[in-house]
Amino acid sequence: MQKNKYNNSLILIVAIILTSFTAQSQTAILKGVIKSENNAVELAKVFLQETQVGTVTDTTGKFIIKNILSGTFKVIVIAIGYDKVEKIISIKENEIKELNIELTSNSSSLNEVVISGTMKEVSKLESPVPVEVYTAKFFKTNPTQSIFDALQNVNGVRPQLNCNVCNTGDIHINGLEGPYTMVLIDGMPIVSGLSSVYGLSGIPQSLIERVEIVKGPASTLYGSEAVGGIINIITKKPSSVSLFSTDIFATSWGEINTDIAGKLNVGNKVQSLIGLNYFNYSIPFDNNNDGFTDLTMQNRISVFNKWNFSRKKKRTFSLAGRYIYEERWGGEMNWNKSYRGGDEVYGESIYTSRWEFLGTYQLPFNEKILFQFSANGHDQNSVYGKTPYIAQQYIGFGQLTWNKEFKMNELLIGATYRYTFYDDNTPVTASFDTIGAGKNMPSNTYLPGVFVQDEISINAYNKLLLGIRYDYNSIHGHIASPRLNYKWSSKNKSNILRLGIGNGYRVANVFTEDHAALTGARKVEFISDLKPETSWNGNINFIKKIFTKYGMFIGLDATAYYTYFSNKIIADYDTNPNKIIYDNIDEYAVSKGVSLNIDIALNNGLKFLIGGTYMDVYNVESAIKEWQLFFRTFLQAFWNIGYSIKKIGFTVDYTGNVYSPMRLPLLSDTDPRSEFSPWWSIQNIQFTKKINKGCEIYGGVKNLLNWTPNKGNPFIIARTNDPFDKDVLFDSNGQAIVTSSNPYGLTFDPSYVYGSNQGIRGFLGIRFTFN
């Protein structure tokens, strides 16, 4: 009896084991490849809903899931920077099922896309230098007529208006003025010097693939002007552009913006991209009743053409060109061209004609050797009241780089040469020698340089980047710029830590960079010859990525930075209210702060991108700490919230920003305008409806709160009733005197500006694509 019981138990155990093997042998396998635009998507999470079965893709985008029971399942694919995909599949016993999925990138600024922040294409995850990437889709959430306006919703970046009359401006990164930011097009230093103020408005957004932003000195690779950071505008490749596309929108203020793009194939080896941008605004508004235009009239056309040539072994060869012509004016409401340059009716009128040419050619060697080149010319004919400013600038640039990988090193060696010709009608290009006093002396600057960079892969999780650049400026002499960067990442790359330290330098030209030196009644004074500024920057960046198995993604991107300046150039508005005095400080200046981006994507179509930056910018003179004088906000934040209902092709985007108070330049103790701006915010909402695969309509409201800087102030522009100061009396020291017709003792001054005078407005647009 006992023996039979033992035998029965043994038979039961054997039966269970056999049943288990039989069940396992009857399970199926699911495998495939996850791609996006023909590129493998690494670390995508693939799993079967309501099961414990799942995996992640390898470096080639491949995945394989084993031991799947037969049945019907919902396959979910999640990858950071891409929209979630769900597929219903049925799988049979012992079946090996193949499933290939194409992902669509979303507008996340934490997108893992290919970038060129280290002057070579790498994955953002692998770059030892922190680079923020913003795609064309991101900028569509708040359509604007220029890249200058589009950057208002990027954390730590602030488009700063510098004139209430002509509305020109520059781009501030982490509290530093526009001249500290280098703007590149396809890695070429196209927008600089004279065009840093006037050349940011004519880049067609329809041709922008993405915008890369590096915060902190990049002089080691890009030279002067990259002290505060770089903004690299990457244009689309002809192969990635639709056969024809157009994007047209208009606002209730009468602004009309048109983008047209198309491509052309010449045989099998040549592709061309053509783009046209036209912007017009010609209806003057004066909602603040000061007699001056609230927004500058503009008429601008820009043409862009890019050619790609197919070569053996996929070697690179591309050429591109752009031409822009713009007329803009602002001033008294009754101004017209007949008053240009006179003292009867005040107006600021700027005619800009600009051309650009750039290209990249990979030499026919086994080694990867690239020659990049560019040239541009900028011709400006402008008047500010009765003050003319006529300027020409021509820049030629060439760069040869060699990229070599060996063992754990990736070496980049380069040689550059940059020539800049600059001429204007100001004292900057006048001779003061005894013999040639008063003679025009255009500036010719020669800037040869060499650089070397070594990216060392210590192991799969640690990278070290060492670099140094040497330049010889024909005016200022020898300049060296070293840098060091370190990156650590966790095994699954969900945690990334970056450390960096680097040196930067900048050679200033006040009249091309600072619009305040030209407009208004203030005179410009230089205490001494301006020396090049130098800086040392240290930063730490940490990225944390979290995604749940139910499709929710959370991304955190935090940065702390510290920049120390020597010879910093300061514009002094305080010492004499009738002057702007420029000089290098004797001691030092500091710019430090922290920033945080939070990126959240829910599986119901709701997305949040929220960020903020705290900045502390100050100078130290004679052991006295003085906060940066003007136009410096200590805190700024932004948000981009979107919700999509894909079934009906409907999307809502709510974008905005908020700025803390900043100190503003007053003319005297009796000036009634506020010394500090208030907290202020610009908020927008947009609704987009997809009509079909190639057409969508969008519209909404900009500046929902109808905020304008005149609120709380008696006026913004001082003495608009007497812009030529004909009725102003001055004392022996040149100070304006209080009189019955000038109760505050002021002169004409439009430099009190920190935001646009353009109030609430509606907009409506249509996008059409034909493939």
Q: Enumerate long-range contacts of 371-376, CB under 8 Å, 24 or more apart.
A: 371/398, 371/399, 371/400, 372/187, 372/188, 372/398, 372/399, 372/400, 372/401, 373/397, 373/398, 373/399, 374/188, 374/189, 374/190, 376/190, 376/195
For residue 67, the model assigns a pLDDT of 86
Question: What is the average per-residue pLDDT within 274-280?
Answer: 93
CA distance linking residue 292 with residue 719, whole number of Å: 11
List Cα–Cα distances, 346 to 108, 130, 307, 405, 703, in angstroms. 45, 47, 45, 61, 29
- Judge contact between 323 and 303, C-beta under 8 A: yes
Which residue has tokens 């500091």?
A: 590
Strand 188-191 and strand 181-185: the pairing is antiparallel
pLDDT at 597: 94
What is residue 18's predicted lDDT score, i.e. its pLDDT?
45
Q: Which residue has the higher pLDDT, 733 or 727?
A: 727
Strand order in the sheet with 569-572: 523-526, 579-584, 569-572
> Lowest-confidence range among 306-320, 399-413, 537-551?
537-551
Asked if residue 7 has pLDDT above 60, the reply is no
Is 17 exposed, middle or buried (CB count within 10 Å of its CB: 0-12, 13-18, 19+)?
exposed
Per-residue pLDDT, 159? 85
pLDDT band of 477, cuts 50, 70, 90: confident
Q: pLDDT per residue over 505-523, tens digit each?
A: 776 665 555 544 455 555 6
pLDDT at 464 over 70: yes
Residue in the block written with tokens 């890019």: 306
Whether the predicted pLDDT of 153 surpasses 60: yes
Residue 235 tokens, joined = 């244009």
User: Bridge-partner residues for 717, per DSSP?
Assistant: none
Q: What is the spatial distance between Cα 175 and Cα 630, in angstroms, rounded to a whole number?
A: 11
Q: How far apart are CA 180 and CA 203, in angstroms?
A: 20
Query: Which pTM was predicted?
Result: 0.83
- Torsion angles phi and psi, residue 101, rounded to 5: -130, 135
Give the C-alpha separation, 471 to 418, whole Å.
Answer: 10
Q: How confident is the model at residue 567 (pLDDT cuts 50, 70, 90)?
A: confident
With cut-offs at 50, 70 and 90, classify the pLDDT of residue 121. low
Return d(Cα 642, Cα 629) in angstroms, integer. 37
**Residue type, position 634, single letter:** F
Query: Residues 6 or more apart from 669 whose CB is under 8 A from it?
Result: none
Distance between CA 37 and CA 42 in Å, rounded? 13
Bridge partners, 430 (sequence order): 440
pLDDT at 118: 64
CA distance 748 to 578: 10
Is the pLDDT at 350 greater than 90? The verdict is yes
